[in-house]
Structures are given as C-alpha cells and as structure tokens.
Structure 1
Amino acid sequence: MQGGEDGGPASLDRTEVIEPSVGIFWGVPDGGRTVLVTDHTPLTEAEVYGDCLTHPRGHHEVWEAWRKLGATALRRCGLPPAIVSHEYEAFPRGRVVYMREPALFTLYADRRLQRPETIADILQLFGLNGQTHTVRSDAHYRTLS
C-alpha cells in the first residue's frame, strides 16, 4: 500500500515493478496485522538535500492529508482506516534516502520495522531489490508507545 506521488493515496500491486525510489513509510495495524504504507518519489525526481537525494514530503504532511480523506476513502484507496484516528507518530515509521556518495540507499527505520521480512517488503515497495542499501536506526523515527 502506498500514497501516490502527488501526496494522495493509491494502492500498489506488489507485482508491479517500480523504479528505485525514496520516501517515507509506516507500519500501521489493519485487521490484526501490520501493513506498510508509503509515500514515495522516483529517484530521478528526488530533491537534493546536501549529499543526499530525498523525498520532498514529510511524515506529518502526508499523514494529515490522508486523515482528511476519512476512513471510507482511505479503505477505498487500500489504506488502513486507523490512519484517521491516530497521530502520525503513533506507529513505527521511517524514511528511505539515497546517499550520492557512496551510491547507497539508506533505510532509516524504527527498530520495530527492522525485521528481515519487513525490510524485504520495504525494498520491494521502493523498487530497491538488487540495489546497494543499509538499514539504520535514528531517534527521529523512534515510536515512543
């Protein structure tokens, strides 16, 4: 599941091949399981931020746009309705950036999202299978609850 590149929600067919992307993500409960929701930008359209290429939108901005849609519209778009009743910091989250030197994708993620199967899903969703990457923790993406 993902948000569209225009900031609005959209569904992602997991068999769809996407080009390498940067962006933000959350692990959100839905029907007794945790699903990944994302908002991403193709690397070819990413913003320059120092030595990195990054996604132009932040967690708060995207989350609030999704919340305004309401539960019914979110579900129609393939996004969990739990988004409506929680703040963006309530669920584990992270960000994918591209370091131009040394040509490396970095996944900053809450430790709860650093399980091998979850990292594999993030790599798939961001088109990073086969790309050089690393996974790191960052206090900014730590969920307190």
Structure 2
Amino acid sequence: MPPDVEYGSEHRDGETATEPNVGIFWGVPNGGRTVLVTDRTALAQAEAYGDCLTHPRGHHEVWEVWRRLGGTALRRRGLPPIIALHEYEAFPRGRVVYMRGPALFTLYADRRLQRPETVAELVRLFGLSGQDHKVCSDAHYRTLA
C-alpha cells in the first residue's frame, strides 16, 4: 500500500533507516514493554517548513488512520493493537525535524522518551547515527495522563 494509506507499518519493527529521516514517533505499551512506533520520511523527500525540513504528516492524522484499522489489523501490520483503543495524546510522543541553518536534527520528545537508551533507539530508527542532533522538550509533545 502507498505510505499515505499504511503509515509507519514498515518502520515499527525496529528497522534501521539507511539514510537520515524526519518524522513522528510514540512510545506505546506492547506485551509488557514500551515499543517505539514511527512514521518517517527520508530527508530527501521532507517538506520545507520555514528554515526546517519536516515530515508531512501529523500525529493526529497518522494515529487516526492506524486506529481505524482495529486491533487485529494493527497486529498483522506489526503495530501494537492498543493503538485502536486510545487517542493519539495517550502515549508519549515526539517529532524529528531537520534544521537547515545549523545542519542539525532536533528530536522534540516527551520527557518520558528522553532517557539515553530511548534516544539511542530513536537515533538508530531515524538513521541519525553520525549526524549532529539534539533532544528538546516541547509543550506539543507532553502526555496528557
């Protein structure tokens, strides 16, 4: 299916990006642990937003597509079925943006996703190894609960 129909399913399984990506992510409970689910865009296909390059889709948009699939279809696509039961704000989330001026990737993330091991996993998933990056908090990426 085209990526605008089946968001993120090809990335949720821990596949390392082979080139730098921008995108969105969540930390979602699955089988007694938290897994990172992502929806990514290669930097070469990212959209301009001011002085940044960013992912064209938002958290609400992607989450609603996933949610409408239902638990069984989510599981078949390698996504946690719990997605079908919650709103997009229920779990910690964030976004990776590329700042063109300083040539820097910025990971905006809920503080619960800023642990060193989680950041290392995000760097791997988004293909940012060897790339300059920083991690920041932002009011948009705070879990409501």
The residue aligned with 2:48 is 48
Cα distance in 2 for residues equivalent to 1:11 and 1:88? 19
Contact 2:23 2:40 in 1 (8 A): yes
- TM normalised by structure 2 equals 0.93
Give aligned-pair identity as a percent.
73
Q: Within 5 A, what are the aligned runs for 1:1-16?
A: 5-8=3-6, 9-12=8-11, 14=14, 16=16
5+ unaligned residues in a row in structure 2: which ranges? Answer: none
Cα distance in 1 for residues equivalent to 2:3 and 2:19? 13
Cα distance in 1 for residues equivalent to 2:52 and 2:144? 27
Cα distance in 2 for residues equivalent to 1:84 and 1:14? 20
Count of aligned pairs between the two proteins: 142
Change (3 A) 1:129 1:102: same
SS in 1 for 2:85: coil
5+ unaligned residues in a row in structure 1: which ranges? Answer: none
The residue aligned with 1:69 is 69
Backbone CA RMSD of aligned residues: 1.4
| Offset of residue 16 of structure 1 | 4.4
Q: Within 5 A, what are the aligned runs for 1:1-145?
A: 5-8=3-6, 9-12=8-11, 14=14, 16-145=16-145
Change (3 A) 1:17 1:103: same
